[in-house]
Each structure stands twice: as structure tokens, then as C-alpha cells.
Structure 1
Amino acid sequence: MARIVGVHGIRQSMTSKTQLTEDWSRALNRGLSEVGRPELSAGALELPHWTGLLARGATHLGSEEDPFDASVPLSEEEADFVAMALEDVVRQEDLARVQQLGLQTLGPPQLWPARLTRLVMAFDRRFPRGGGKLFVRAMREVRLYLYEPDLAARVRALVTEAFDASISVVLGHSLGSVIAYDLLRRGEIAPERAAVRTLVTCGSPLAIPSVRRGLNIADGEPLKLPGDVAWINVFDPADFITGGTGLSAFSPEITDAEVSNGVGDPHSAFRYLRTTPVALTIADGSR
């Protein structure tokens, strides 16, 4: 079975590499068991804990106060990016409906410019149960990676340390899928260091044009990977971070696998990791 580098997503600053590895391994093993495949061997999963680097001003890993919490006001740059990302994914009929309504309070008024409030209200019509607020928080963290190049380089360098010649699969969830893709497309994993054959992305925001633009990918430009790397993208249409869509429309080389993670938290890493498409790809270790 393949050895794997996992790249975790948002909101992991209060956990640890050890805990994340245990949790991801448990979820992956559940999926493998359900498809009748052997569980991961000891040490099969490398899961660098990069998230502490995203704390504003942080130069080391560790528990930090969450800089993306709802109590932390959005900067002008954050509000603009989140609004553009929402404009990419809200349905026009929902936005038109919201325009007819009075603004609702989504939090302290100073945190929610009117433009953003309307977009969040429109987004909630498609993704209820607070999807809009969760999207705002997630996109703030995504933006920090996209528009702080020195910080992003440190994140990629930390993830790169997890690779060795036995690694053949990269598995990224949420913002981790963006980081994994960015790392591979830049060629920062030398072929002699690891023979990566497969990229698996789960709950990826790469379907959102504003996110791709943050990677300097022009509208209409396909998502590409160097070499002969197979790309499997797993998504739940109810997942608010994906905008409800897969990635195959952005490249003929990407294979989408649609799953249903339930109503509680369709973006959950652990629900994605235990799905059949992830299990089969991990078990095969290659195309």
C-alpha cells in the first residue's frame, strides 16, 4: 500500500500532529475496512501540522488565538476577497431575493459591511445552517495563504519536509488541497525525493474562481499538474466550501467523485476521508 502525505485544512490550530495523524488514520482505516482492504500500516501516513504558521505574526508552531474567529474584525482586504468569493458561488436568484429584504444582523455590525451581509444572506439560502458564516471564516484563512507569499512559502517548506522516496500519494482537505496542488504544480517536490503518482483532494475550494486567481491562474486556464500525476477530487454537493461543485470542469485530467457526507457537517475532513473513493485510491496507491 502507498505511503501518504496528508495536508490538513482550516481550523486546526488547537490540535497537534500526533492527534491529527491518529484521527486521519482512524477515518482512512474505516473507509478501507468498508471496501474490504487492509488498514494502513504503521507510519504509512505523514501529516505535517502547518496550521500554526497561519496565525498572524507567528514564526513557530503552537497553539495561538484564532485570528479568524468571528470576534476578530475583517480587514478591508479580507472583506473584499470574501465578497468576491461569495459572488463567485451565490445564485443570482438568491441574491435578487435578498436585495428585496432588509439586512439581517449576522454579527456585530462593524464586522459585516452591507455588501458582505447581503452576499452571506444569499449564500445561506443555498447552504443553510450557518453556511455563510462558515464560508467567511474559511475564506479569511484561505486568503492569508494566497496573499502572503512568504508565509505560504514557509507552509510549503514545512509540508515538503514530510516527503521521502516512499511517498506516492498526496491527500489534501479544504485549504490543504490548495496547498498540495500549489506545492506540486510548482515542482517543489523533486522527482528523486518522492515519486508522487496520485493527488487526492477533498472538499476543495479550487472550484472558486477567486481562489484560483489567488494562485495566479487566469479565468479559463486549466488546472494542471506536472508529470504523470493522477488527480482524484472528492466533493459533496452540500459542502459550502466547494460551492457545491467538483473540479473536472477545470481540467480533463481531473476525475471527480461525488459523495454524500450527511447533513451535520458535509465539509468534515473525517467524513471525506472515510468515503469509498478515498479508500479505493489509497488502497491502490496509483492509477
Structure 2
Amino acid sequence: MTGLLLVHGRSQELPRRLRADKAQVDAHVAAMTRSWLAGLARGAVLAGHPAVPASAVELPFYGDLLADLVDAHEAAGGRRPDLESLAAPGRAPAARTDAGTRTAERVDAATDALVLEAAGTLGFARPEGFGDLLGNGVVRRALQFLADKTSTPQWIIERFLRDVAYYLTVPAIRGPVLAAVRRGVDTLLARGHADVVVLGHSLGSVVAYDLCRSLDVPVRALVTVGSPLGLPAVRRNLPGVSDPPALPGLAPPAGWSGPAWINGYDDRDVVALVHPLAPLFAGGRAGIRDERTVNPSGPHAIEDYLADPDIAGPVAAALK
């Protein structure tokens, strides 16, 4: 049977005092896996498929790793992204010699771009004047605009976009996270699975796409939900990605009909504001199937995304 790799998003870390306790970490990962499988079971049954067995699933946990890497980066001199410090369009940044400062500036710029692009999707009017940009905190106003439009607290939006920026712009963070998720594939292979379906949520959808571009194992389907991959700043900052970005190499199972990349989004999900994905990727109109859903528990809720039969059905079908 094909293995199923679940790639979670940000903000999944344990409290720092518990991160070295293997029993606590294992219990946390087991609870996350059960939650995902519960949603999948509801959606799969509605689509006419049996529930996905736990034996076919692996959820590589990188939540503590990401939190520790960000902490270490900041402790070494890399500051947190400052949403007030937006450089005007076309203005070159001042020359710096400190590597940590240059890295922090890349994170700042990427975070600012993510905020402005997300707000622009909902109609935020970006001021044109250079002085207005630097003097009145345009990024902070864009963040407030996003919060008002989506009923999502500013701190949640800011932390999410900051972590996406860290993953995209700091190789010392992206590399270990990607390697941790790749080890999940190795675990599935060691259990006897010869191929995989990759399912990513939120930041995990970016990691999943990143992984699938270079994975040397057949990927039968890629499923992304609540994904920020529609934001131009995300696609621009993924290393080695062209414009428009290419589809990952997927190998759907025999008898598969239609695109092998399924992308689910809720119109109210602040993380997935730019949708659908199909027009944004080279060959996407033929290679990506976008599914609009309405999540009753919350626009970004993973259990609700997976309970949609149009999302869970293809997952279950690809695992046969």
C-alpha cells in the first residue's frame, strides 16, 4: 500500500520545558496524527472510501525543531522580522557587512511582502509616497487591515507570516526542517511502502511542495490545504523556483483521472487568501485541481479541510 506523509504547519511546538521529554513528544505527535486521521476518515467515508489506516501514515514532527532553530537564529544576532521597516519599492538596502544582519533583513523584507500581498488581495490600498511608507507604518496598517477583514488576531497573522519568511529566507532553518520531513518518507519506505501521497497544511504545504520538487520516491498525489503558495512572495522566495513555478513531478496511480495535485481552500482562510493555485503555476490548469470548501470550526482548521470528501476522497483513492 502507498504510504501517506502528513506535513503539519507552524505553531505545533511543545512548551520548551517538555521538548526533551520523549514521552511527551510522542504523545503530542500521536494526538496530532489522530486528529488528522479523524478528519480524513469523515471525508473518505463521505466520498465512498474506507478510512485511512494509521499503519499507512507518518507525521514527521518538526514543530520543536522549527521553534528551536528560530530561537537560535535570533540568539545569534538575527532579529525578529520588524513589520514597520519596509523599504520603498526600488530602493536598494544599505550595505552591511554582518551576515546575521543581512539574513535578518531578508526575513524582514519577505515578511513585509507577505503582509502587503495578502492585504492587497482583500483590497488594501498601498500608499505611493516614499515618506508615507517609512513614516506611517504601512505594513502595520496592512496587518490591521488583514485582521479586520478576516477576524483573525494580528499576532496570529504576524507570527504565521514571520515563520513562513524564516523558512523561505534562512537556509539554516529551511534545510533542517526539510530534512526532518524527508526522514518521514524514509520511515514509510522502511515499513515497506514503495511510494507516497504527500499532504501538507499551512506552512506544511510549502514544505510539502518544496519536498516534492526533489523527492526521489514516486509521489502519487500532492494534497495542499490552507496553503500560502498563492502569495507571490512565497513563490518568489522558494529556492530554485522559476516564474511561474513548475509543478512537482507526480506519478499518479494507474486508473487515476484528473490532476494529481489537489488544493483545498476556504475563502475566509487568511493563510490561503490567494486562490485558486492552478493559474499561478506552469501547467497548473491541467495539473492542479482547486477545491473550495467551507470549514465550520474555523477557516484554517485542518480537521475540517480533511473532512471534505472532495479533498479526502482523492487521498484515499491514491492510497489504494
2:235: which partner in 1?
212
How far does residue 255 in structure 1 lie from its aligned partner after superposition? Answer: 1.2
AA partner of residue 154 (structure 1): P
Cα distance change, pair 245–23 in 1 and its aligned pair in 2 (3 A): same
Aligned pair count?
Answer: 257
> Residue 98 of structure 1 contacts residue 122 of structure 1 at CA under 8 Å; is this kept in 2?
no
Pair 1:283-2:316 in alignment = yes
Superposed CA offset, 1:87-122 (max 9, x none)? 2122488434999xxxxxxxxxxxxx8222211122
1:73 shift after superposition: 6.0
Q: Relative to 1, partners in 2 of residues 1:57 and 1:7: Cα closer, same or farther, differing over 3 Å? A: closer
Alignment counterpart, residue 151 of structure 2, candidates 80, 104, 128: 128
Partner Cα distance (1:98, 1:270) in 2: 39
Q: Which amino acid aligns with 1:215?
A: L
Shift of 1:203: 0.6
Whether the 8 Å contact between 2:47 and 2:310 is mirrored in structure 1 is no
1:280 partner amino acid: G
Which sits farther off after the overlay, 173-182 or 144-153? 144-153
**Secondary structure of 2:145's partner?**
helix
Q: Which residue of 59, 63, 66 corresponds with 1:51?
A: 63
* Paired residues of 1:94 and 1:122 also in contact (CA < 8 A): no
Aligned in 2, Cα 1:96/1:156: closer, same or farther, shift over 3 Å? closer
8 Å Cα contact 1:207-1:247 kept in structure 2: yes
What secondary structure sits across from 1:169 in the alignment?
A: strand
Q: Please name the residue that 1:8 is paired with.
A: 8
Residue type at the aligned position of 2:224: T
CA distance in 2, matches of 1:161, 1:127: 36
- Residue number among 177, 184, 203 corresponding to 2:212 in the alignment: 184
Distance (whole Å) between structure 1 residues aligned to residue 206 and residue 144 of structure 2:
26
- Which residue number corresponds to residue 224 of structure 2? 201
Partner residue, 1:248 = 278
Shift of 1:83: 2.2
Flag the 1:143–1:73 CA change in 2: closer, same or farther, 3 A.
Answer: closer
CA shift, 1:227, in A, is 4.8
1:95 equivalent to 2:124? Answer: yes
Q: Displacement, 1:275? A: 1.2
| Unpaired segments ≥5 residues, structure 1 | 59-63, 100-112
> Quick one: distance in 1 between partners of 2:318 and 2:229?
23
2:109 pairs with 1:80: yes
TM-score (norm 2): 0.71
Task: Find the aligned partners of 1:98 and 1:122 in 2 and give their Cα distance.
Answer: 14
After TM superposition, which residue ranges in structure 1, 4 or more long, deviate above 6 angstroms? none
Query: Are 2:221 and 2:250, in contact at CA under 8 Å, matched by a contact in 1?
Result: no
Residue aligned with 1:256, SS: strand
1:259-274 alignment runs, 5 A limit: 259-262=293-296, 264-274=297-307
Q: Which entry has the higher C-alpha Rg, 1 or 2?
A: 2
2: CA distance, partners of 1:283 / 1:40: 6
Give the CA deviation at 1:74: 4.0
- Structure 2 segments unaligned to the other structure (5+ residues): 15-24, 86-104, 129-135, 253-259
3-state DSSP of counterpart to 2:151: coil
CA contact (8 A) 2:199 2:222 kept: yes
Indicate the structure with greater helix content.
Answer: 2
Partner residue of 1:41? Answer: 53
**Deviation larger for 200-209 or 13-22:** 13-22
Normalised by the length of structure 1, the TM-score is 0.79
Distance (whole Å) between structure 2 residues aligned to residue 87 and residue 248 of structure 1: 22
Contact 2:199 2:223 in 1 (8 A): yes
Deviation at 1:44, TM superposition (A): 1.5
Query: C-alpha separation between the residues in 1 aligned to 2:221 and 2:123?
Result: 38
Q: Aligned-pair RMSD on alpha carbons?
A: 2.9
Distance 1:258 1:34 in 2: 17
- Matched to 1:254, the amino acid is I
Q: 1:285 to 1:161 in 2, by over 3 A?
A: same
